[in-house]
Amino acid sequence: MKRLYIECNMGAAGDMLTAALLELFPDREGFLKQMNTLGLPGVTVSCVPSVKCGISGSHMVVTVNGWEENEVPAQSCRAETNAHSYESIKSLIAQLPVPEKVREDALAVYRKIGEAEAHVHGVTLEQIHFHEVGTLDAVADVVGCCLLFYLLGADEITASPVHVGSGFVRCAHGLLPVPAPATARLLTGVPIYSGQIRGELCTPTGAALLRHFATRFGPMPPMWVDKIGCGMGTKDFEAANCVRAFWSETEDYADEIAELRCNLDDMTPEAIAFAADRLFEAGALDVFTTPVQMKKGRPSVLLTCLCKPDMQERFMRLILLHTTTLGVRMSPCSRTILKSSFRTVQTAYGPIRIKVSQGCGITKYKPEYEDVKKAAEAHGAPFDAVYKQAFAEAEKEFIK
């Protein structure tokens, strides 16, 4: 499984994210060549070594007609000379010679930025004209970042809470508080924090990229780290101005799940079974009960529900709705599971599907219950007889 964790202790910007991801990608020159042949008018992309507070990494340099844009806050207004409309940027990205998935991601990122800007300024998306965020160097940042996410092909992308900085930032409209209004809008629902560092650490571009690609924000999950990419910003602060990307690639399938639990001492077994059925129907990974004793020796049932982390709020509400509990305990869990696939073997009772699970040097076989049951009923045979023959055929065919 390929896992990517993005550390945003110094915020995030498009060039910083691109540089961090490029340090993970094995063909740096190939990526730069592809970026420089996209046909973006006057745009040249390069990557140079950079050191911040004694830490070495990479910095993306994007020039437009030979000029490199200074890193300034990206804001917008309704009409400006040399400004780019949302529609013009859409048209530009739609014509780029990149994989369709990259175009879709880049367009989605810009739509997030445009919607945030439109909300802040009280106008429609069509009325938005971008300033710095719409210039060609920013387009290169967004497309380059989306392309690297695509080339790396991570199965899971998570990120830390985002440090946004503090103080004020100057833009076309004057002085604005940090995080800038569009950035704050983009980071709604994402854990963010301020600090002692004065300045804008997270730009609208960085916020939109994180919001689009990261499926969860929180502490780094347990992972075997194979590579670390360090993308440097332009400004110098008392702390190293960088985004770090941690890459893990393992053969076994490791992921994160949420465990929800509650004690029930005033429900009938039938009512508990009904609640468990509703949780399974909603997509729970597993639901089970355990007999426990509560205070004063009262017999009780511990209901446990396992689900994906991004669905824990939904299942918490279902548990509160369908049980008598007044509270639900939630804990994040890491797990390693075997990868499973299905194969079919031929038996005297007909074809039987076999669930083959592999990983960590382990292989397990299990005939599918429904197939065995159906074959046993059709032939008037004992369940065990069909099961054992299917298992024996699986061993002969799959174990070499």
CA angle centred on 138, ends 188 and 190, rounded to 5°: 15
Do residues 115 and 213 share a domain?
yes
Answer yes or no: is pLDDT of 64 > 90: no
Q: How much is the pLDDT for 346?
A: 93
Same domain, 215 and 327: no
Q: Is the pLDDT of residue 363 over 90?
A: no
| Contact indicator for 372, 355 with CB cutoff of 8 Å | no
Verify that 236 and 288 share a domain, yes or no: no
The CA–CA distances, whole Å, from 110 to 48, 94, 113, 393 equal 26, 12, 5, 55
Q: Return the pLDDT at 308.
A: 92
Expressed as residue numbers, the domain containing 174 is 2-249
* Digit-coded pLDDT (tens) for 110-122: 999 989 988 888 8
- Cα gap 45→31, rounded to integer Å: 10
In the chain, the number of structural domains is 3
Does residue 48 share a domain with residue 74? yes
The residue out of 201, 216, 249 marking a domain boundary is 249
89 and 204 assigned to the same domain: yes
For residue 327, with 0-12 CB atoms within 10 Å meaning exposed, 13-18 middle and 19 or more buried, which class applies? exposed
**Is residue 252's pLDDT more than 70?**
no
Average pLDDT over residues 62-88: 61
Query: Given pLDDT bands bounded at 50, 70 and 90, which one contains residue 173?
Result: low
Res 61: pLDDT: 94
Q: How far apart are CA 290 and CA 171, in angstroms?
A: 59
Residues 205 and 300 in one domain: no
The Cα–Cα gap between 131 and 122 comes to 17
* Predicted local confidence at residue 255, as pLDDT: 75
Same domain, 267 and 165: no
Same-domain check for residues 359 and 300: no
Please state the rounded mean pLDDT for residues 169-194.
Answer: 87
User: Could you tell me what percent of the chain has a pLDDT over 90?
Assistant: 70
Comparing 103-117, 129-143, 202-216, the range with the smallest average pLDDT is: 129-143
Q: Which CATH number belongs to the domain containing residue 312 in this structure?
A: 3.30.70.1380
